[in-house]
Amino acid sequence: IRSLLPPANCALIVIARERLPISELKEVHVHCLSIDSATSLLLKLAPRTARHAAEIAELCGGLPLALVVFAGMVNEQSLTSVEELLVAFKRDLNIGAVRSAFKTSFKMLTRSLRSRWTLLALFKGDFQLSAAAAAWQLDEETARICLQKLINTNLVQFDAKRERFSLHDLVRQFCEQHQDGTAARIARLHLAWFYVNISQFAGALVSKG
């Protein structure tokens, strides 16, 4: 980070979950949302939580990511009552608010979608639809449907302007821990072949000028 420090007339913002022992930086601790703010956010994201919003906000510890994931699950699981989702969430709370939200959402996915979601942790940065389709060994239209379901539950982020997908780093850690080793090895091989093809295509374009 020190090598990235800009001249005095510029600013650099570094976001981290751990303290950084760099004297040139001024440390500002960003607190979690207050219960009132967290409740307001939850009601805005998922109005169906109205009766339990304050309790959910407290269980999530005011962590925005946990609130967003829980809200996505409530919106996606429209046939499941908020009470049932809350029970499932509480059951997983011993692993922490954010991971509990992931775990509860994870259980709500179909088995095939669980596997596909965890395989997205193979991407260390953002990725395009065709790359996800290659990792999953699916056609692009089917991959698009799967990604849409994961976006609806806020388990995958989508940058509409760049048409690229990504995982929050905490989501990626969770997915890495729940990957099937064999499936991950196979997906890596398909991804490698996918990028080899892109490289060959790019090389052909360069040779044509």
- The answer to whether 178 and 106 have CB atoms below 8 angstroms apart is yes
Residue 93: pLDDT band with limits 50, 70, 90:
confident
**pLDDT value for 67:** 95
Band the pLDDT of 95: cuts 50, 70, 90.
confident
Mean pLDDT along residues 45-49: 96
Residue 2 exposure: Cα atoms within 13 Å on the Cβ side: 5
Report the predicted TM-score, pTM, of the whole model to 2 decimal places.
0.82
pLDDT in tens, 50-92: 999 999 999 999 999 999 999 999 999 999 999 999 999 998 8
* DSSP secondary structure code for residue 179 in this structure: -
pLDDT of residue 183: 96
Nearest CA to 100 among 134, 61, 126? 61
User: Does pLDDT of 138 surpass 80?
Assistant: yes
Label residue 94 by pLDDT band (50, 70, 90).
confident
| Span 172-199, average pLDDT | 96
Q: Is residue 106 scored above 80 in pLDDT?
A: yes
State residue 34's pLDDT score.
Answer: 94
Residues 109-127: tens digit of each pLDDT: 999 999 999 999 999 999 9
Arithmetic mean of pLDDT, 23-47: 91
Phi-psi region of 137 (alpha: psi -120 to 50; beta: other; left: phi over 0): left
